[in-house]
Amino acid sequence: MTDRLRVSMTMRPASLADHLFDVTLRHRVRAVADLHHVVLDELDSAAARDALATTDVLVAGWGAPRLTDEVLQAAPRLRAVLAATGSAGHMLGRAARGRGLLLTNARRANSRPVAEFATAAILLAGKRALPAARLYDRRRDLIDREAELTTAGNNGARVGIVGASSTGRLTIDLLRPFDLKVVVHDPYLSDAEARSLGVEVAGLDELMRTCPVVSVQAPELPETRGMIGAAQLAAMPDGATLINTARGSLVDSDALVAELRTGRIDAVLDVTDPEPLPPNHPLWDLPNVLLTPHVAGSIGNELLRLGERVVVELERLAAGLPPLDPEPLPATPEA
């Protein structure tokens, strides 16, 4: 290529770029492209439009403004959007398809920390760590584990994974060294794929009824919203733990609160519906719930993994190579 690519970054807050791209990664960007000196946290000002006018590649992080038709008109040279996020199709306006833009995401890079979090939560749930901690705090004395934690242990225990997504599959892989029986519910998982993953396939109701630990890792789709409702939660064994690192909308929030109030099951919730919860929501005060603020995904030094993925995609684009993680443009993008 005779002309160097011109790259702009957009995300909110703009300071996020410092966490995604350290000195080494920025050096790699500048080795193959000219990088605009300002990270854009909006795309409507005159200064932002001036930057877009000469931008070939837009690197988008969390909170990036939508690429409306007006924004795309201001970026006549734009040929690729490289997202340091799990998906980016929601950013695009209707004009994107006509432009034939290349869209990539860092979904696979972001799957790793989510799967690690889910794996840790699964193992702790199997050891009955939450109820044990509550009991210990209440007694503040020696606990007869054999008498009071009779269902604890990860030796041959059944673990249910709801959704053979990229994160779900990576979690299955991370669980391989442990003596667990992994059961998966995913209507799109073939028998051959299940055999290759070394898992048992089950319907959702059977999985919920037979697995003391259930990890929700399905994507948010119209057909998955509310897929775990009152009937599924009531079917869980006494002392079971529900883990959700996917999206809060996959679990009926009212039904979950009602079941948790019985004290019969525990929950580890990294996502909720709504998110964040209002200050007076009952989930804050239930003793059998561990709430974390959506930290399963990339945070801290894990953000560099996302930046690395974007830089690799940029290097491949500059070299005329196909992308590693292309994302199809949405069939009916919003206006």
Known active-site residue 193:
no
Answer whether 159's CB lies under 8 Å from 180's CB: yes
The catalytic residue among 225, 294, 305, 316 is 294
Answer whether 66's CB lies under 8 Å from 92's CB: yes
Q: Strand 5-10 relative to strand 157-162: parallel, antiparallel, unpaired?
A: unpaired
The dihedrals phi and psi of 37, each to the nearest 5 degrees, come to -75, -15
Nearest of 84, 83, 76, 73 to residue 19 by alpha carbon: 84
274 preceded by cis ω (within 30°)?
Answer: yes
Known active-site residue 185:
no
Known active-site residue 294:
yes
Q: What's 272's DSSP letter?
A: -
Is residue 74 within a helix (H) or strand (E), and if so which, with residue range?
Answer: none
The catalytic residue among 247, 309, 313, 327 is 247
153: left (phi over 0), alpha (psi -120 to 50) or beta: left
Q: Please give the angle made by the CA atoms of 27, 29 and 33, to the nearest 5 degrees.
A: 120
Nearest of 39, 56, 51, 53 to residue 5 by alpha carbon: 56
| Sign of the C-alpha dihedral computed for residues 243, 244, 250 and 255 taken in this order | positive
Mapping DSSP to helix (H, G, I), strand (E, B) and coil, where does residue 82 land? strand
H helices within the chain, ranges in order? Answer: 16-20, 23-32, 46-53, 69-73, 95-99, 107-126, 129-139, 145-148, 166-174, 191-197, 204-210, 230-235, 253-261, 303-318
The catalytic residue among 42, 148, 275, 334 is 275
Answer whether 244's CB lies under 8 Å from 250's CB: yes
d(CA 118, CA 241): 12
**Residues carrying an active site annotation:** 247, 275, 294
